[in-house]
Amino acid sequence: MKNALVLAACAVLFTAAPAFAHGAHEHGVARLNVAVDGSTVDIDLESPLANPLSFEHAPSTPEQRQAVQDMAVNLHRAENIFVFPAAAQCRLKSVTLESEALPADLLQAVASPQPQTSAAKGAQPAAATGDGHGQHDGHEQSAEHADLDASFAFECAHPEALHGMDVRLFAQWPALHELRVQLVTPAGQHAAELTGQAHQLSW
């Protein structure tokens, strides 16, 4: 019965709450939907491209293409971004990345030709620049706005030890300042806000 309730809550959260799922395009802010159902954890991330990148359009230079691919490689290593208690033994099962502004081939799980030492330390290849933090009202820039939609699925061998996760996205995306979270568990729905100083999500 609990599983059915979680699935129903997820349906409400992901399809019947467009104000959250497709909120205002606000640089420095991203949205995270987390659904915990027994041994599975499904995570949906929606973010302006300006948070992981310094542009919100199709890459036009080799450097921009490399930045997109580096971003994708890091996201496909989501076990380093969403860190669960070791006792839960959670394993990453799948990753899906989509953006209307970015070529699909650059978003695949392809090893980057560049060394990943900086990514391992939480650095981002191309930091967002400018004062784009905050919501944009000007129509003249609307064509440049684009989002990244990412979905992650985890399977945990010991769900009884699954009581939260550490979200380390802020270390990889310095331009990100706030994660607005909607969490669904068998116990109900909860909202939270995470920051670079407070990035632990508990349930």
Separation of alpha carbons 145 and 49, rounded Å: 8
Amino acid occupying residue 90? C
- pLDDT score for 33: 99
Q: Where are the domains of the chain?
A: 29-109+146-202
Burial of residue 39 (CB within 10 Å: 0-12, 13-18, 19+) is middle
pLDDT in tens, 100-146: 999 999 999 765 444 433 333 343 434 333 344 444 433 333 457 89
Tokens of 199: 């990035």
pLDDT in tens, 159-183: 999 999 999 999 999 999 999 999 9
DSSP string, 91-145: EEEEEEEE-TTS-GGGGSS---SS--HHHHTT--SS---SS-BEE---GGGGGG-
181 three-state secondary structure = strand
**With 80 as the cut, is the pLDDT of residue 152 above it?**
yes
- 181-193 average pLDDT score: 97
- pLDDT score for 111: 54
- 26-54 average pLDDT score: 97
Lowest mean pLDDT among 36-40, 93-97, 106-110, 176-180: 106-110
- pLDDT score for 23: 57
Assessment of whether the complete model's pTM goes beyond 0.85: no
Confidence band of 74 (pLDDT split at 50, 70, 90):
very high
- pLDDT score for 6: 44
The total of other beta-carbon atoms located within 10 Å of residue 165's CB is 23
